[in-house]
Amino acid sequence: MSTWVLHHREEAFPDPDVFDPTRWIGPPEKLREQERCLVSFSRGTRGCIGQNLAMCEMYVTLAMLFRRFDNLEAFNCGPEDMLYVEAFAAFHPKNARSFRVVNMAK
């Protein structure tokens, strides 16, 4: 199946052509359906070989944001959420709290 078709499913992503980051805030049932339909790096044997590198670069970018802007703070995040297992693998426990960045200057 085409990832474009999957990412434009109206049931999972209402109004898919509009940039709406708030669509990822909602009841867990809805989020599970969205995560099932989101295949940014493909899956299975034809999955992207650069996925681990891309995820690592996203973590480094997020860390750079926190270092450069001192008015950013992790919302609802504790020490148990900061576990880091390996340099090239994303570790996210299933029961972890969601991670948000908020501007504390407001």
Other CB atoms within 10 Å distance of the CB of residue 12: 19
Domain boundaries, the chain: 1-39, 49-106
Identify the CA nearest to 75 among candidates 56, 98, 92. 98
For residue 106, the SS3 value is coil
Question: Six-digit token pair at 67?
Answer: 């270092």
pLDDT tens for the chain, 106 residues long, are 678 888 888 888 888 899 888 888 878 888 888 888 888 888 778 888 888 888 889 888 988 888 888 887 777 777 776 665 554 445 556 676 666 666 777 6
